[in-house]
Amino acid sequence: MRAVDIIAHKRDGKELSREELEFLITGYVAGTIPDYQVSAWAMAVFFRGMSPRETAALTDVMLKSGAVMDLSGVPGPLVDKHSTGGVGDKTSLILAPLAAALGIRDPMMFGRALGHTGGTLDKLESIPGYRTSLGAAEFKAILARDGFAMTGQTKEVVPADRLLYALRDVTSTVESIPLITASILSKKAAEGASALVFDVKYGSGAFMKEAAEGEKLARSLVHTGAAMGKTIIALLTDMDEPLGNMVGNFLEVEESLDCLEGAGLPDKDGSPPSTGPADLMEVTLELGARMAVLGGKAASPEEGRKLCEECIAGGKPRELFLRNVESQGGDPRKLLELRGKWRSPVSAEIRVPPGAEGAFIRRVDAWKTGRAAVVLGVGRDRAGDPVSPTAGIQFHRKSGAAVKAGDRIMTVWAAGEEGLAAALPQLEDAVEYGREPPPARRLILKEISGTTMEGPGQ
């Protein structure tokens, strides 16, 4: 085989064989096929797309380019959840102990924040002492004992993805749905789960800005997973506004604890919750309901959601969360002592500007909020940049709230004065006001599941 022929085949819209993909990717990892040829192939894929069969073969080749977690001996079911990234999205921190409390084991592998979306690894590392770099044996032992374990991706896991993603980033081929699918699924398959729930986000704060593009990615993940023998359910969810009331590493750990203690759940008489981030709980419970279905604990999403609500009310997920903190080197008592207190001393408030009497908050733009959070020190634009555990944003009012001049909208904490000064105008610009309340948001647009294979897609 020759790389130039493989490039030509894809340029001309042909379906590549597994052997061709294996030759190309294996050669790239080994250093025998140069960047410029893989760049040409990636651009051909960007324009020509890949069939589900082709995407599945690419995913499997990438998966087998490195180590795969061996979870034999760990009793199942093994079900994980993955989000395509958003602002204020801490659902993984809530779902892992919730799934474990339902009797589902969740092997969770994740990365650091890059750009405007947060990283679960950075959030967990804001807990004093918490270790996110686990060896395979320790990861397996914690998973078996606690019901879930959380670790960062190592260099040994899917090296093909690490190389290919860096190349796509500098060749304007990141937005290719087949390449995104292979990137996500190869890493999730490497962690050993047999079933997956995907939270595919769309909107200003998501990678996919339009619902139609988000749905294409969701269908690609579901169909490619089916071709690999994985059972997958995807939910298409709104990320046009930040999720929950907290954006920031330790702040989001705190909010996760709030959720595990029942904040945001309806009162027993069925009335709306008086406190807590209802939007965050809605997305979390719907994702948890699907994990319950895939784990064989519920026959339907409705039954799964009820189980999740009852489980949180019983307190076991909170207990497992704190047990995992201890298992991975953290101090649960220190965490609880710092809760509500550990903040950067550099802070400010954002209030409703003059002339806003009789107004409503129409929208809080997630992308603008996420970019401001990076400036504050919550995230990073380049791998290796430091992040602050105590920087972040707390929302006191969000879309739909009636406001008047002077009302407090946010409290903002920054790693330094310079970052605070730069972020405040961005956050002020993120809030949109109007004389009428906004229409109700539909947080869950649709569910995508099944094993039907479809034709070639972009």
Over the stretch 47-65, which tens digit does the pLDDT of each residue have?
A: 999 998 899 999 999 999 9
Amino acid at the residue 193 = A
Cα 2 to Cα 87: distance, rounded to the nearest angstrom: 43
- Rounded to 10 deg, the angle between the 278-294 and 91-101 helix axes is 40
Say what percent of the chain tops pLDDT 90. 73
Overall pTM > 0.95: no
- Catalytic residue selected from 80, 89, 161, 240: 161
pLDDT for 274 beyond 50: no
pLDDT for 455 beyond 50: no
Determine the pLDDT at residue 306.
Answer: 95
Q: What is the mean pLDDT of residues 255-272?
A: 71
Q: What is the mean pLDDT of residues 228-247?
A: 94
Q: What is the mean pLDDT of residues 276-293?
A: 93
Rounded to 5 degrees, what angle do the CA atoms 212, 218, 219 make? 90
262 CB neighbour count, 10 Å cutoff? 18
pLDDT for 458 beyond 80: no
pLDDT for 457 beyond 70: no
Determine the pLDDT at residue 327.
Answer: 97
Residue 370: φ, ψ to 5°? -65, -40
pLDDT for 253 beyond 60: yes
Active site residue 9: no
Active site residue 297: no
- Catalytic residue selected from 81, 123, 140, 168: 168
Among 84-98, 112-126, 266-280, 305-319, name the one with the lowest average pLDDT: 266-280
Q: What is the mean pLDDT of residues 403-413?
A: 95
Determine the pLDDT at residue 291.
Answer: 97
Cα 347 to Cα 123: distance, rounded to the nearest angstrom: 20
Strands 444-448 and 359-364: unpaired
Q: Where in the chain is the domain with CATH 3.90.1170.30?
A: 346-434
Determine the pLDDT at residue 192.
Answer: 84
Closest CA to 28 of 12, 46, 45, 41: 41
346 and 420 Cβ atoms separated by less than 8 Å: yes
Active site residue 449: no
Cα 166 to Cα 38: distance, rounded to the nearest angstrom: 12
**Residue predicted with more confidence, 66 or 80:** 80
Cα 242 to Cα 108: distance, rounded to the nearest angstrom: 23
pLDDT for 358 beyond 90: no
Active site residue 168: yes
Answer positive or negative: Cα dihedral of 241, 119, 148, 97: negative
Q: What is the mean pLDDT of residues 296-306?
A: 96
- Catalytic residue selected from 116, 123, 162, 187: 187
3-49 — its CATH code? 1.20.970.10
pLDDT confidence bin for 265, thresholds 50/70/90: low
**Mean pLDDT, all residues of the chain:** 90
346-434 — its CATH code? 3.90.1170.30
Max Cα–Cα distance, the chain, nearest Å: 70
Q: What is the mean pLDDT of residues 390-419?
A: 95
86: its two tokens: 């958003």
Determine the pLDDT at residue 279.
Answer: 94
Determine the pLDDT at residue 115.
Answer: 66
Answer positive or negative: Cα dihedral of 44, 49, 53, 55: positive
Determine the pLDDT at residue 166.
Answer: 82
Say what percent of the chain tops pLDDT 70. 94
Does domain 79-335 fall into CATH 3.40.50.300?
A: no
Please write the tens of the pLDDT for every residue from 434-448: 999 999 989 999 999
Cα 363 to Cα 401: distance, rounded to the nearest angstrom: 10
Among 114-123, 272-281, 422-431, name the one with the lowest average pLDDT: 272-281
pLDDT confidence bin for 229, thresholds 50/70/90: confident
Query: Can you say how many angstroms the Cα of residue 174 is from the centroid of all Cα atoms in its chain?
Result: 17
272: its two tokens: 């709306």
Q: Where in the chain is the domain with CATH 1.20.970.10?
A: 3-49
294 and 95 Cβ atoms separated by less than 8 Å: no
Please write the tens of the pLDDT for every residue from 79-120: 999 998 899 999 999 999 999 999 999 999 887 656 677 788
Q: Where in the chain is the domain with CATH 3.40.1030.10?
A: 79-335
Please write the tens of the pLDDT for every residue from 339-352: 999 999 999 999 99
Active site residue 161: yes
pLDDT confidence bin for 451, thresholds 50/70/90: very low
